[in-house]
Structure 1
Amino acid sequence: MSCLLLTAPYTWAVPADAGYDFYSIFYVLAFALNLVLLVWEGHRRGYAMRPWLVLLACTTLAFILGTKLLALSGPEWRGLLSTGRWPGSEARTVLGGALAGTLTLLALRRPFGFSWHVFDAFTLPMCAALMVQCIGCVLTGCCFGEATAGGWGLTYPPDTLPYLVQAVRGTIPLHAAHSLPVHPTQLYSLLLCAGVALVLVLTRHKPWPGGSRRLLHLGLLLTGRLLIECWRDPAGEQVGAATHVHLGVALKQVQWVLLLLGPAVLGLWVWRLRQAPQPERQPTQNSVRNLLAVAALLLLTAWLGQQALTLPEVLVVKALLLGVLLLEGGALLLGAAGLLQPARAALPLGLATVVFMLTSQVPVDSAHTGREAYNTVDFSLSTGSFEREQNTGGGCNGSSQLLEYRHRYTTGTVGFAHTRLPGTDEKGRLHKAEATWGIRLHAGSDRQTPLYIPPGGPSESSQRNSIIAVNPYVQLDRKWLGVGVGLMAGSLGYHRILYGDEQSVLDGQASLRVGPRPQLFALADYNFLGYGVANPQHRLGLGTGFGGTRWQLVGGAARAKDYDIAEGQSRWSGFVEARGTITPQWQASSFVTLGNPTQQQIGLRLGYRLPNKSTQR
């Protein structure tokens, strides 16, 4: 990174480049540093990580939205309230973020079981993040100051905001080499944050009541911002730049607000110091509360869509939500007694899939032309039955008995897939294959009922087992050849990779297609999982698209998994599968096995192509 250059005895030139997005780089770095420090601060204070991450996700999203909401103009606010569509404005102000984050923390502190001390945890990380962001503001030229004759002034090259503002005002020629020196108000802000951080560090051992340091932190920042505004150019101010005169004093709108807020917050700090200090209370664990908060954030991000959040902001929110869901899923999977309970993890794993689905949209400012890509979400339902025999391990003289059982199962599936079509990417590389990666979550139940119990045999009754599995997969397709592989993990039902009559927790899948899909192709599947995992099939078949790509029909033979079956029963049956594109967005398919009364299955799947713009990933 280039440093500031001394161009004259009195000024420093900023090596800003109008074509390079310094602001976004340091914006991401500031967010990353803030979150890392907050996670560490929570660990240092002994907070339970699950509620702490939920609180961080909520306050982070509130901070992001607050920086933008407070910067909206009156017409933009009216458009947002009347249409529900987020304005295209890119203006931001940290004042709105601080206000929204504080109010969110105030609302969630008690429900999540935190004491007032939790406010203090946010102080030093915010100071560090703001210092990093100030460097990006210096290099970008935003938030610049008024012209100055002092030796500490900064000059900016053409096409930067300070240069363009001065050129429009006529204070510099249109083809000047650089702008006039301006006050480095961004560096003033950096020094302010560093000074506030130093005060917090020096007073860290004082036994103040919870929340006192947050009040001192905000009061000093607001008061310092009031003073810095005296040297900031109105064109470099995002909010409240107009000047108002009251009692003969001319100040910007934002200064009048800060003149009230700064002393008020410092007054609250003094009042708070008079309260008796209380010990810090640890947050309580509550999975239902945590998952409800995640669901609410998902609904909010889905409503905001592509206009409100940039790609880095989407990634920040997604990382926090997935961290919460992984911890919740692990806690519910193991249960209170440390025993494996796969069905309990269905909700967090399902929400994790929704996180990918609702936060994988491509923000408008990060879209590129090139190789086309799209996302698909699908929902499936299957039901069926099969019969098997089981060795009971009992009987007279140590001999064993074989009991025959019928299994009836129903499973539901939700899936998300990302597909990239053949074409040339932005680097000029030609890709001939269609590539798809995706993840499915299968959940349901399998009811096992004995068909016949011999006289004197063991007393058996129906038994219901939960079925839940995570199924990531990858598929590559060219004109004449298609290959796919996948993995299943969870409670899969009565099958293993090779053989067995016990519950399986791990299995694989594979598929192979030879021939063009529009005309005629041969298909081989190992563990066909399009409709669930209760009784996956091995399939051999032929298919055709009737000369096109809208409709497809596949038929052939299906063989059930290897478990003991009664003598004379067949493991083979026939199958038929039909697929079709109803509209450009909606696809449907159905599947049925036939010809074998001991192996039956029927399923239906509905898919929806998300209305994302084409993008290069």
Structure 2
Amino acid sequence: MHNDLFTIGPLTIHGYGLMIALGIAAAYVVSVYRAKRQHLEGDHIASLVIWCLVGGIAGAKILFWITQISSIVKDPAILLNFTDGFVVYGGIIGGILAGYLYCRKAKLHFMQYFDLIIPSVALAQGFGRIGCFLAGCCYGQETSGWFGVVFPENSFAPSGVPLIPTQLISSGLDFVLFFVLVLFSRVKKVHGQVAALYLLLYSAGRFVLEFYRGDIIRGNVGLLSTSQFIAMILFVISIGMMVTSLKRPKPEAL
């Protein structure tokens, strides 16, 4: 678990950044490939990915700031730190909103492209969580189990103690979710069902995994972490999306 992988002159390649880049590249390639198979306009994919990426980064940062309001009041300089401090759920919400705005601008069927892009989002998250593991962020609680991982001193995680590798667990679940969504997309009845399934499975998995996270900086809502609170909301929304799609009298043309 070393974030600094190698150095070329003055340039240092960081594991977290590399995994994020690989995730974005993989998400784009898969989205273009699936768009061609579904006879959709592939020219919009690059623009849609850029919009979702910018919206996702902004959303992840804004939600982090919201969870850190009390700390920001004491030290406003926190607002100037753009290198770390992001909340994944903010990225998901911001990315979805940006994607919706682009589809409105380009006059595209939002739910159709939502279904197209969302499996790639899960794929990108899988790579991203490997980056978290290399950097030591999003770490788990202390454990005496055989699966515990000890991080070095230069990582974000506490060093010298075995921790639950929540990053790798999350990464594995994200990759499995990607394949499940791709397979489900082949049998879906109406647009929006793949997106609903993503929100349903991701929020359920994230809610459970949060009990094993050891980083408490992300804030809480009552007895729940901020991510668990948002997971509950998205879980209910996803069920509503599924129920609504099943009640449609005629399936949409796919």
TM-score by length of 2: 0.82
Residue 17 of structure 1, CA deviation? 5.3
Contact 2:164 / 2:212 at 8 angstroms: preserved in 1?
A: yes
The one-character-per-residue Cα deviations of 1:410-449 (angstroms, maximum 9, x if unpaired) are xxxxxxxxxxxxxxxxxxxxxxxxxxxxxxxxxxxxxxxx
Contact 1:243 / 1:252 at 8 angstroms: preserved in 2?
A: yes
The corresponding residue for 1:101 is 95
Aligned partner of residue 155 in structure 1, secondary structure: coil
The corresponding residue for 1:256 is 229
Contact 2:120 / 2:178 at 8 angstroms: preserved in 1?
A: no
Contact 2:200 / 2:238 at 8 angstroms: preserved in 1?
A: yes
Aligned partner of residue 211 in structure 2, secondary structure: coil
Q: Does 1:34 align with 2:34?
A: no
Contact 1:120 / 1:212 at 8 angstroms: preserved in 2?
A: yes
The corresponding residue for 2:9 is none
Q: Which runs of 5+ in 1 are unaligned?
A: 1-14, 165-178, 245-249, 281-617
Q: Does 1:144 align with 2:139?
A: yes
The corresponding residue for 1:468 is none
Q: Which amino acid aligns with 1:185?
A: T
Contact 2:31 / 2:45 at 8 angstroms: preserved in 1?
A: no
Cα distance in 2 for partners of 1:75, 1:243 equals 14
Cα distance in 2 for partners of 1:18, 1:49 equals 36
The corresponding residue for 2:244 is 271
The corresponding residue for 1:448 is none
Change (3 A) 1:152 1:57: same
The one-character-per-residue Cα deviations of 1:66-108 (angstroms, maximum 9, x if unpaired) are 2222112327888xxx9xxx62242112211110111122233
The one-character-per-residue Cα deviations of 1:340-381 (angstroms, maximum 9, x if unpaired) are xxxxxxxxxxxxxxxxxxxxxxxxxxxxxxxxxxxxxxxxxx
Contact 1:207 / 1:277 at 8 angstroms: preserved in 2?
A: no
Cα distance in 2 for partners of 1:231, 1:34 equals 28
Aligned with residue 2 of structure 2, among 10, 13, 16: 16
Aligned with residue 118 of structure 1, among 113, 116, 130: 113
Cα distance in 2 for partners of 1:195, 1:273 equals 25
Which consecutive segments of 4 or more residues in structure 1 shift more than 6 A? 75-78
Aligned partner of residue 163 in structure 1, secondary structure: coil
Cα distance in 2 for partners of 1:17, 1:257 equals 29
Residue 45 of structure 1, CA deviation? 2.5
* Structure richer in strand, relative to its length: 1
The corresponding residue for 2:169 is 188
Change (3 A) 1:109 1:16: same
Supply the RMSD in Å over aligned alpha carbons: 2.8
The one-character-per-residue Cα deviations of 1:365-419 (angstroms, maximum 9, x if unpaired) are xxxxxxxxxxxxxxxxxxxxxxxxxxxxxxxxxxxxxxxxxxxxxxxxxxxxxxx
Aligned with residue 69 of structure 2, among 65, 74, 80: 74
Residue 158 of structure 1, CA deviation? 2.1
The corresponding residue for 2:11 is none
Cα distance in 1 for partners of 2:48, 2:35 equals 11
Cα distance in 2 for partners of 1:17, 1:110 equals 39
TM-score by length of 1: 0.36
Q: Does 1:220 align with 2:201?
A: yes
The one-character-per-residue Cα deviations of 1:505-540 (angstroms, maximum 9, x if unpaired) are xxxxxxxxxxxxxxxxxxxxxxxxxxxxxxxxxxxx
Cα distance in 2 for partners of 1:232, 1:107 equals 33
Contact 1:59 / 1:104 at 8 angstroms: preserved in 2?
A: yes
The corresponding residue for 1:87 is 80
Contact 1:144 / 1:233 at 8 angstroms: preserved in 2?
A: yes
Q: Does 1:53 align with 2:26?
A: no
Contact 1:141 / 1:161 at 8 angstroms: preserved in 2?
A: yes
Larger Rg: 1
Cα distance in 1 for partners of 2:186, 2:35 equals 18
The one-character-per-residue Cα deviations of 1:197-256 (angstroms, maximum 9, x if unpaired) are 232233233242101101111221111111000000134x5x32x462xxxxx3323322
* Structure richer in helix, relative to its length: 2
Aligned with residue 153 of structure 2, among 158, 165, 172: 158
Cα distance in 1 for partners of 2:57, 2:51 equals 10
Residue 257 of structure 1, CA deviation? 2.8
- Map 1:290-439 to 2 at 5 A: none
The corresponding residue for 2:10 is none
Identity, in percent, stands at 25
Q: Which amino acid aligns with 1:107?
A: L
Contact 2:140 / 2:213 at 8 angstroms: preserved in 1?
A: yes
Aligned with residue 127 of structure 1, among 104, 122, 125: 122
Contact 1:212 / 1:273 at 8 angstroms: preserved in 2?
A: no
Q: How many residues align?
A: 240
Aligned partner of residue 48 in structure 1, secondary structure: coil
Cα distance in 1 for partners of 2:72, 2:241 equals 31
Aligned partner of residue 124 in structure 1, secondary structure: helix
Which has the bigger relative contact order, CA under 8 A and spacing at least 6? Answer: 2
